[in-house]
């Protein structure tokens, strides 16, 4: 049996404006009402029809994935670009990682980002693709730059890191994950504790992996 052609996603400047309006409205609705926020409510807030929402995103799950991608892109674009730039231009790994960690924490602990993350966690069993979208668009976007730098320093004999994939997770665990754990039960870490986790966490990470600064 011949399959019907896939629906065409609206294109053009006017369609893009509508898409952005839908994503903004959906983000507000999901944060306020959870995943049960109705498409009718979202369409009304965006000033479009319900059909227009489905034409752009196909389903509520597709819309939520777009919301995740848009939110993480806005929050992390500067951090990801800055990480890449610093790792490429600086030979001071500690300074680069401290900057990166501060940027990650600042972006990912914003109230709206925490609300979206909690919503993903609550719905991931029903919709595993939401978790995948979060991971792909989150701090892991900086992973290729980190891996390339670690591989280069290992080759130079300035870093001992037999398992680079494990090391990236260790870095996240030291500087970022404590905030996400505390946020799960409505708590936040004081600024002084945050800075301590970042600076001492990076130092512990580099000491464990026998980092040798560049000779002066």
CATH of 76-208, one of 3.40.120.10, 3.40.1160.10, 3.90.76.10, 1.10.357.10: 1.10.357.10
Sign of the alpha-carbon torsion through 51, 57, 61, 66: negative
CATH 3.90.850.10 fits 8-58, yes or no: no
Sign of the alpha-carbon torsion through 42, 47, 49, 53: negative
Sign of the alpha-carbon torsion through 83, 88, 92, 93: positive
Give ranges for CATH 1.10.357.10 in the chain: 76-208
d(CA 72, CA 22): 16
Q: Are 22 and 42 in contact (CB under 8 A)?
A: yes
For residue range 42-101, list pLDDT tens digits in order: 999 999 999 999 999 998 888 988 988 888 888 888 888 889 899 988 899 999 999 999
Judged against a pLDDT cut of 70, whether residue 9 lies above it is answered with no
pTM here? 0.81
Q: Which segment of 45-59, 64-78, 143-157, 196-210 scores lowest on mean pLDDT?
A: 64-78
Give ranges for CATH 1.10.10.60 in the chain: 8-58
Q: Are 210 and 160 in contact (CB under 8 A)?
A: yes
């Amino acid at each position: 049996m011949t399959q019907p052609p896939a629906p065409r996603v609206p294109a053009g400047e006017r369609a893009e404006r509508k898409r952005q309006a839908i994503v903004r409205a959906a983000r507000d609705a999901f944060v306020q009402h959870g995943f049960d926020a109705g498409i009718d409510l979202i369409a009304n807030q965006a000033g479009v029809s319900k059909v227009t929402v489905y034409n752009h995103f196909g389903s509520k799950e597709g819309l939520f994935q777009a919301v995740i991608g848009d939110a993480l892109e806005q929050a992390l674009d500067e951090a990801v670009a800055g990480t890449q730039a610093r790792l490429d231009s600086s030979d001071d790994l500690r300074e680069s990682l401290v900057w990166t960690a501060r940027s990650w924490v600042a972006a990912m602990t914003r109230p709206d980002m925490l609300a979206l993350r909690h919503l993903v966690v609550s719905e991931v069993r029903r919709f595993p693709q939401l978790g995948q979208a979060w991971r792909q668009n989150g701090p892991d976007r900086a992973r290729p730059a980190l891996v390339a730098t670690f591989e280069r320093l290992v080759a130079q004999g300035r870093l001992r890191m037999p398992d680079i994939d494990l090391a990236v997770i260790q870095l996240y665990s030291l500087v970022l994950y404590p905030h996400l754990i505390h946020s799960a039960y409505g708590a936040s870490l004081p600024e002084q504790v945050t800075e301590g986790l970042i600076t001492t966490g990076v130092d512990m990470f580099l000491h464990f992996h026998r980092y040798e600064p560049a000779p002066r």
